């Protein structure tokens, strides 16, 4: 049920599983997306991928501006074009307390479906391009820590070790082993 969704945290193996395509856009999927958006806003995020809440489907909610009109739900998103390069600081709701420098494409075009099953294409640059790439990485089982520069990974190692130790002691429903 969507009500019970919680953010799964590093190093849960659920975050490393590749999400499977959504085959049908229906009311259950819309309820999952709505609950994901609630969780994203409650945690002051700008994006959230379904695997981050234990749903192994290719669903992303995002809102880089925070304005309700800018909220997007992407079903089965795929990056179809990439250009340029940029480096910038990123954090992740599934890796709390950790941020680092990540190199990304400066411009991307993403093909996806909306909540009505319509095809859409988004061409984005800068921050929006970064958010799209970050969330689509989650659908592939790729995490922020995999993309951070070596210097950032080194700087984050104590925080990552603390998350690993806390995960080992956590109850399953609190984001520990499932």
Answer for the pair 60, 49: CB distance below 8 angstroms, yes or no.
yes
104-161 pLDDT, tens digit per residue, is 999 999 999 999 999 999 999 999 999 999 999 999 999 999 999 999 999 999 999 9
Q: Could you state, in order of their start, the residue ranges of all structural domains in the chain? A: 2-174
Q: Provide the pLDDT for residue 171.
A: 54
**What is the rounded distance in angstroms from the CA atom of residue 18 to the CA atom of residue 163?**
22
> What residues are labeled active site?
135
In angstroms, the Cα distances linking 145 to 12, 46, 68, 95, 116 are 13, 18, 29, 8, 34
- Encode pLDDT of 5-48 as tens digits: 999 999 999 999 999 999 999 999 999 999 999 999 999 999 99
pLDDT in tens, 157-176: 999 999 999 988 775 544 44
Q: In the CATH hierarchy, which fold is given to the domain comprising 2-174?
A: Peptide Deformylase (3.90.45)
Q: Cα(first)–Cα(last) distance of the chain, in Å?
A: 17
In the chain, which ranges are E strands?
A: 47-49, 59-62, 72-83, 86-91, 99-104, 107-113, 119-125
SS3 117: coil
What are the CA-CA distances from residue 110 to residues 80, 124, 132, 159 (Å)? 6, 8, 8, 32
The pLDDT tens digits for 46-81 are 999 999 999 999 999 999 998 888 999 999 999 999
């Amino acid at each position: 049920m969507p009500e019970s969704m919680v953010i799964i945290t590093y190093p849960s193996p659920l975050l490393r599983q590749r999400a499977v395509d959504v085959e049908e856009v229906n009311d259950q999927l819309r309820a999952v997306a709505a609950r994901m958006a609630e969780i994203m806003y409650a945690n002051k995020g700008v994006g959230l991928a379904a695997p981050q809440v234990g749903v192994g489907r290719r669903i992303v909610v995002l809102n880089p501006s925070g304005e309700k009109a800018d909220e997007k739900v992407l079903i089965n998103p795929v990056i179809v074009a990439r250009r340029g390069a940029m480096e910038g600081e990123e954090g992740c709701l599934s890796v709390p307390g950790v941020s680092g420098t990540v190199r990304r494409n400066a411009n991307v075009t993403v093909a996806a479906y909306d909540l009505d099953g319509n095809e859409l294409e988004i061409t984005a640059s800068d921050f929006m391009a970064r958010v799209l790439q970050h969330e689509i990485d989650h659908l592939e089982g790729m995490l922020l820590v995999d993309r951070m520069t070596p210097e950032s990974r080194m700087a984050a190692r104590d925080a990552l070790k603390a998350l690993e130790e806390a995960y080992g002691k956590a109850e399953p429903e609190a984001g520990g082993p499932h």
